[in-house]
Structure formats: structure tokens, C-alpha cells
Structure 1
Amino acid sequence: MQIIRRFAVDTSSISRVFRVLPYSTETLTSNAPKESLQSRISPAIDLRVSIVPALEQWRKEGRSIKQQDLHRLIRKLRTFKRYNHALEIYEWIRDKFYFDISPGDVAIQLDLISKVHGLEQAENGGHYAGDEGHGFVKTLSYNVMLGLYSRLGKHEKLDNLMQEMEENGIGLDSFTYCIRLNAYCATSDMEGMEKLLMKLETDPAVNSDWNAYIVAANGYLKADLKEKAVEMLKKSEQFISGRSRRFGYEILLTLYATMGNKTEVYRIWNLYKTIGKFFNTGYVAMVSSLLKLDDMDGAEKTFEEWLSGNKFFDFRVPNLLIRAYCKKGLLEKAEQLVSRAIEQGEEPIAVTWDALAAGYHENNQMEKAVDTLKKALLATSQGWKPNPVTLSACLEYLKGKGDVEEAENLIRLLREQSLVSAYDSDRLVNYIRSEEPGSSTIAQMLWDHEDLDAETDGVVDLKQESIS
């Protein structure tokens, strides 16, 4: 299978390859045409039916086709696990257009091939890409295959592939080393990890990378070798500079908190603040770290600092405290945080209401749990699902008190938000109306529903996004 027509080799895209974010995340603007390419292909529910005819018809009608729109569509299809349709778009681009295909595109295509046709086809595609590409792209193609092997647990193939790279004169880069280091950590092979780390440090073609030491620190933590983990974190810090400071410091905060080292958490936080910019993600990392250390006072002070300086209200920050308050039974404090957000004109998101509902359930305030869960369902956003334990408890509570109508309202909301299939919705309603006792029945339905009508639900969500 031919993968690449032309490469636009951009070394800045390599970081996007392994974060799987090569495309824009912006949403369609309000001045977009009423009918988009996305809305045109959304009805293709059956994954066995090709979407190429719809693409061809769009083209024959003389409609505009921009590469960024196709990239955005591929990203949406991958989100909803319509991998074969996403791969079809890449193949259609290859056959019909002369768009530049970036290294990031190569990585995505190989990942899609492995999902649609299996690892063997991805291997063939990866080697083909490597044979035709620039040296950088060859390394990238091998790195993608290394990542696939690692993800699938085929660690025995990693060394052979790295040896093949060296025999063919294809240079290893920092990503190659990090993938292999991660695999060593996954199998707790500290000896292999240490040998590879020494090789990295003496490889003249590769600059030592802070990520590699973070991987090694995680490996030592998994093996409960905290002193060695700290040593790796110190080494990592030496290589964190420039644009990497934000992300690097956030990881250090999390890892030092995992080790229970409050002194280092505050030291790194002070370094973080010297960056001179206000990042919500930094406050998420710091508040989360302090809560992990059970430093509630510090977490609250950091939250107030964020509240007074943020330019964009990010519910991830207060949600951390809301969950912590609920776990400790401090429901009034959790309610106050939600009220403060509302007073500032912010509308709590589904995750916020869900966390509060869980708190009410854990503290046996079921009427409030039901009311709050309804708010969560009404605020549903893409990717969110209600806590199945809380939801099961609420439905069982309503069934137990004989409030069938309210239980059916909850189930109706679940279905309207595509959180359960029609099949499971009917099963839940029948259960609520029956005399059957036992919450295990509801819990089983809620856990199992993800595998039912998954393709249809994905298409429903895709349709909704194409309209908005």
C-alpha cells in the first residue's frame, strides 16, 4: 500500500506525532456553509460501506476541498473510532490531490493501517515509507512501528527493529530511545533500561533529552527505587529549558508529589512561576500535587491565587478541590465553590456536577444526588460519561422509593445525550418498572452499554458536531 506521495519534512512536527495531535483543534466557525463535507459523510453508519462515493460526489459538485478541512475530518473520524473511513480519506487524498503529506500524517496513517488491516500491513507500509523518504522520515517511520510494537506489548521485536535501523544507517533519535526505555520500564527491566540510558548519554548523534530521564524516573518509581528516581529527576531538570519548561516542570510537580516530596514540589512550583506566564495547566498540576500530598491549605491558597489571576476560567482547577472536599465529606465547601463559579457567570460543566453528585451519594444525600446528576446530564459534553456507580445508585434509589417517573426521566436524558443505546435504555426502563431487586443489574447494563451500538453512537455524535 502506497502511503506517501510527497513529504513536507518539518522537524517541528515530530513532537506532534507522538502526542497524536497533528491537526488543528479549532471548531467550525459560524460562517461555514450549512452543508459541510462532514455532514455529507455522517450518515455512513455502516463501517463496511465506503465513504469515497460521497467524497467524489462532493468534488464533482465543484465544492471547495481544503487540506485543513480534510485533516479536521480525519481527526473527528478517529475520535469516533471510524478508523477505516479516516484511512479512506488519506487514500483518497493520495489518489486525487497533490497535498503535501507531513511526517505527522505518515504516523497517523500507519496507526490507522494497524487498526484497520493489522500490524503486518502497518509493518509493510512502514518499511515502504522508510524506503522512499528523507532520513528524518525514515527514522520517523521506524519510530512509529516501534511505538506500535510497544503499545501491543510485542517488546521482543523492538531490539530487532532498532538493530535493523543501525544496520541500514538510519539514525536513532531521542524518540527512539524513549520508546525503548518505556518498554523496559513496562517490563521492570531495570538493567536493560540503564544500559540503554548509558548508550543514549554516549551517542554523539543524539542530544540528551529531559524526557528520557523522566521515563527512567518512572521506571525506578515503579520498582520502588525512590533514590534513583530522584537522581533521574534532577538530571532531567538540567535539560529543561526554553519552551520545554512549562511542560517539563508540570511533570516534575506530579512525580515529586507521587514520591511524597512536598519540599521539591514547592521548589519546582517557584521555578515554574519564573516562566512569567499564567497557565491553567500549571495550576491543575500544582493543586493536584498538593492534594495528593494531603496539603489542603496549600491547595486552597494555590486555588485562590489562580482565581485572582486566570484569564480563562478552567473548571479543571476547582473540580480538583470539589472532588477532594466531597471525599472528605466537606460538601458545604464543595457547594460554595460551585456557587462562586456561577456568581462569576460561569456555567458548571458536566464533570463538575458529576463530582458533586458523587459526593452526595457517598454521604447518603440521595435526593441531592439525583437532582445534581440531572444537571450533569443536561450539561453533557463530548467524551463525558456519568459516574456509573452514582448513576446506578440514583436509579436504584428512585426505583426503591417507587418514583418510576423520575427514574424514567433520568433514563430519557441518558438516551437523548447518546450515553446509552436504545437497547439498554429499554432494558433499564423495564428493570425500573419490574419488581426485580439488586443494583448489580443496573451496574452491569451501564458498564456493558459502551460495546453496544458504538458505531451508531459515534455517527450520532459526528452528526451533532457537523450541525453545531
Structure 2
Amino acid sequence: MVLLRSCKFADRSLLSYSSSISRVLFTASFSSTKAQTPSIQSHDLLLYKRISPAAITPRTSIVPILDQWLQESNEIVVDKLKNMIKVLRNHNRYTHALQLSEWMTNRSYLDQSSGNIAVHLDLVSRVHGLEQAEKYFDTIPDSLKNFKVYGTLLNCYTFKKSLKKAEATMEKMKLLGYMTSHSYHSMLSLYNKTRNHEKLVALIHEMEKTGVCYHRTTYYLQLTAYASFDITAMEKLLGYMEANPNLSLDWHVYIIAAKGYLNFGQHKKSREMLKKSEGCVHENTNGVAYEILVTMYANLAEKDDVYRIWDLYRKRWRKINDKGYHHMISSLVKLDDIVGAEKIVTEWESVTRSFFFWVPNILVNAYSKKGDWKKAETYVERLVGMGKQPPTSTWDILATMFCKHRQMEKAVDAMRKAILSHHHDHWEVNQVTLTACLKYLEEKGDVEVAKEFV
């Protein structure tokens, strides 16, 4: 969520940078475990099978399973059990990883080293939130609060976008001499996420003065920052990066520059950067490159280029996922090519296995904005007829559209369906539409239905 957020597009390899900092800190914290991707070996395979994500649900406690393992007189190898914490964490089973950490600590399998404490702090933050993480941090003896522990606390704040607390922690670490390259980059990612680009650049200059590791990721962050407020500085830095033989630039850097030029209304230069970006896209490049190019060309109102990139995407990439279709449909809607969007939606319907409604919702929204409520209604009815179950978001869009066009009976019906489907969806219904439906019901005298809505 880091490097390209300010450019309103996403790439998995760059956007995962914030979490990669956390992974580096997490791996480094286990002093007796080699810094490598965790794997399950023969000894602990049986135990892992019992507590693996495939074996138990996220809400099931693994503590009874661990206790049973001991009751069966099975051996405990500490390093391998610590490795399981990594594996569980890498599968986003943070609660289970924390339970295992606590279980090992309570039975003295884990010593109270700063590395183990740092790992535990990270897990507490992810499972119970910052407040509990801070409480746990306060219980740690000062003698064990080294750069690993402070670095983890800093990463907890940056992950939760807690800017003031992160900055306070950074200043404390500077006083203690604990700032590392990972700590600096954690703060850079936070400044980028919160769009504090001037602070980001200032911190990079500080890194230059202090001789902290300054690599390609740092340049990308700095370029992203300049792209938002200083086009001259962006051009100067891009020229330096292109001339630097030690930097291997890829398609991302030109996308950042293209967005910068677009921000300043220089469409011709933006298009030139997109062409350079295309030159760095190869057949084995992640499909996200095509998705971003499609979106960028749509932002420039270059319809022919949007279709050209889409054709390249389909030829070079083995299977376009829902996200790829989402980008293309959104781009065509932005270009007011509703007919083209309808064709892509039809194609998506024929190949998708999951049928997530955030893809067809684009079309429903487009119809709504154009005032074609009958077409939107017919489309959703067709999906329902196919056995699909629209979520709250879809019904809410329809309810708002019907309300706007004074089709209040239809609006009330759609709002009722939105409310009934809400437990399957995180969408929050439009409060203005809900209020309008309640007012209509009260004026009509349907008090009981109004109470049901409330």
C-alpha cells in the first residue's frame, strides 16, 4: 500500500513494501533461526497438520491441540516450533501465531530475549491493536528494549498509520542510536501512505547525510513524492536514476513519472512516459503492469491505447483475473464507452469462477450516473435470475438511483434487500437514501415497515 498509493494505482510488488519491512523485522528477531523462508520439516509435519490453516478455522484455539501434543509424549524442538510461528504468520494466521508464542513462553520454551519479545509485540499489535501492544511494550524491561523492539514498535505504528506516535518513536530511536535502514524505510512508507511528501523528502535527505542504506526503493519513494508537488525535482531525479548504472529501472518508475506529469497537466509528456513504461514490460511481467497502463491511458482519454494495451494483456497473460477486468471496465466507463464496457462485462461473466459483484457494480454505477435506472434494474434482475446473490453494495446503488429518480417503491424494496444482505457485506448503506426511504414510508403510513428498517 506504499509506493504507488499517491499515484492512485497499485502494484503488488511495490505496494507490499510496508509489509515486507515487517517481515524483515520479524525474521531478524528470531536470533537462533536462519533468515530464510520458513518451511515445515519432517519432525514437525504432524503437529503443523493439526494446527495448519487448512485443518482449523481462524477462530479455533490451537492451545488444546498443543497441550494434547505434549500429553502424547511428543518431542518439542524449540527452533522448529518457533519456525511454526513464522509459517502461521505468513498465512495471516496472526491469532494462532500469537497463541503459539504465548504457549511457548508460558512453558519456558521461549526465553525472554529481545528478539522473541519483538516477535511477540508484532503479533499483539496485529491481533489486539495498538493499545494492547503499547501496554505490552511498557512491561518490557528497559534492558531488553533494543533496536529490534523499538523497530517493531515503530513498524506497528507505521502499519496502522499512527503518524504522531511513529514520529515520536523515531525521535526516541535517534536519541538511543537505534535507527536502522529498515526503520528509516518504515517511516518513508508511512509518509508516502499519509501523503506527507515534503517530510518524506526531508527524511531521505537526512538519510543521505547519515549514510543510511539508500537503494532503489528509496529512489522510487522520492520520485513518487516529487511527482505530487515538484515536477522539476521529479525530472532531475528521474534523469539521475536513468544515468545511474547501479540502478536497474523497471516499468514502475515511468508510471510514477507519467502520473507526475498528469498531475501537472502535461499530457504529452505523460504519454511519453507511458510509452517508456511499455518498453519495460516483458512477456513474463506481472499482469498488474497492463492493468495500470490501461488505467493511465484512460486518465489521458486515450481510448485507442486502452484497447491496444488490453489486447496485449490478453495475448501475453495466461489468464486475466477479476482485478484485470475491473481495471478495463472502469477505464471504459471513464471514457464513456458504455457499449464497450458491456462487452467486457459479458466476457468476464463467461470466464469468471468467483463472480464478485465489485466488477458488475461498475456497470450498475455507470447506468445510475447516466440516469438509465431501467437498464440498471434489468441488468441486476438478470443476474438474480442466473442465481447470483447481489450484496449490500449493489442494492444500495440501486436504492440510491431509484430514490434520485423518485421511484420510491423500488427504492424501498432495494433498501430492504440491502439491509437483509448486510451481514454478508462490509458496505455501509447510503444514509441519505435510507433517510429518504424512511420518510417516504412514514408519509405513506407504513410505520411498521419503517420500524423494521430502523
Q: 2:432 aligned with 1:404, yes or no?
A: no
Which secondary structure state, in structure 2, belongs to the residue aligned with residue 268 of structure 1?
helix
Residue among 341, 345, 356 paired with 2:387: 345
For residue 219 of structure 1, what is the amino acid of its counterpart?
G
Q: Map residues 177-216 of structure 1 onto 2, 5 A cutoff.
A: 177-187=219-229, 189-216=230-257
Stretch of structure 1 that moved more, 261-270 or 367-376: 367-376
TM-score w.r.t. the length of structure 1 is 0.66
TM-score w.r.t. the length of structure 2 is 0.68
For residue 18 of structure 1, what is the amino acid of its counterpart?
S
For residue 385 of structure 1, what is the amino acid of its counterpart?
E
Alignment partner, residue 238 of structure 1: 279
Q: In 2 relative to 1, CA 309–409 (structure 1 residues): closer, same or farther, beyond 3 Å?
A: same
Q: Compute the displacement of 1:234 (Å).
A: 1.1
Residue among 405, 408, 433 paired with 1:366: 408
Q: Compute the displacement of 1:151 (Å).
A: 4.8
Contact 1:318 1:337 in 2 (8 A): no
Residue among 372, 375, 389 paired with 2:417: 375
Alignment partner, residue 212 of structure 2: 170
Q: 2:435 aligned with 1:388, yes or no?
A: no
Q: Compute the displacement of 1:222 (Å).
A: 1.6
Q: Which of the pair has the greater relative contact order for Cα pairs under 8 Å at 6+ separation?
A: 1
For residue 316 of structure 1, what is the amino acid of its counterpart?
W
Q: Map residues 273-284 of structure 1 onto 2, 5 A cutoff.
A: 273-274=314-315, 275-284=317-326
Residue among 122, 125, 135 paired with 2:169: 122
Q: C-alpha distance in 2, partners of 1:352/1:117?
A: 38
Q: Compute the displacement of 1:382 (Å).
A: 5.4
> May I ask how many residue pairs the two structures share in their alignment?
368
Q: Compute the displacement of 1:287 (Å).
A: 0.8
Pairwise CA RMSD: 4.3
Q: Compute the displacement of 1:61 (Å).
A: 7.7
Alignment partner, residue 17 of structure 1: 17
Q: 2:317 aligned with 1:270, yes or no?
A: no
Q: C-alpha distance in 2, partners of 1:321/1:261?
A: 20
Contact 2:159 2:190 in 1 (8 A): no
Alignment partner, residue 260 of structure 1: 301
For residue 186 of structure 1, what is the amino acid of its counterpart?
S
Q: Compute the displacement of 1:294 (Å).
A: 1.0
Alignment partner, residue 437 of structure 1: none
Q: C-alpha distance in 2, partners of 1:348/1:71?
A: 37
Contact 1:114 1:120 in 2 (8 A): no
Q: Compute the displacement of 1:277 (Å).
A: 1.2
Q: Compute the displacement of 1:236 (Å).
A: 1.6
Contact 2:163 2:190 in 1 (8 A): no
Q: Map residues 71-82 of structure 1 onto 2, 5 A cutoff.
A: 74-75=125-126, 77=128, 82=129
The CA deviation string for residues 435-461 of structure 1, in whole angstroms up to 9 with x for no partner, is xxxxxxxxxxxxxxxxxxxxxxxxxxx
Alignment partner, residue 331 of structure 1: 373
Q: Compute the displacement of 1:266 (Å).
A: 0.3
Q: In 2 relative to 1, CA 194–91 (structure 1 residues): closer, same or farther, beyond 3 Å?
A: farther
Q: In 2 relative to 1, CA 92–182 (structure 1 residues): closer, same or farther, beyond 3 Å?
A: farther
Contact 1:127 1:141 in 2 (8 A): no
Q: In 2 relative to 1, CA 94–109 (structure 1 residues): closer, same or farther, beyond 3 Å?
A: farther
Q: Compute the displacement of 1:116 (Å).
A: 8.1
Q: In 2 relative to 1, CA 94–329 (structure 1 residues): closer, same or farther, beyond 3 Å?
A: farther
Q: C-alpha distance in 1, partners of 2:136/2:386?
A: 44
Residue among 316, 322, 339 paired with 2:364: 322
Q: C-alpha distance in 2, partners of 1:256/1:216?
A: 14
Alignment partner, residue 351 of structure 2: 309
Q: What residue ranges of structure 2 are gaps of 5+ in the alignment?
A: 1-11, 24-51, 64-98, 111-115
Q: Compute the displacement of 1:14 (Å).
A: 7.0
Identity of aligned residues (%): 38
Which secondary structure state, in structure 1, belongs to the residue aligned with residue 287 of structure 2?
helix
Alignment partner, residue 227 of structure 1: 268
Q: Compute the displacement of 1:152 (Å).
A: 5.1
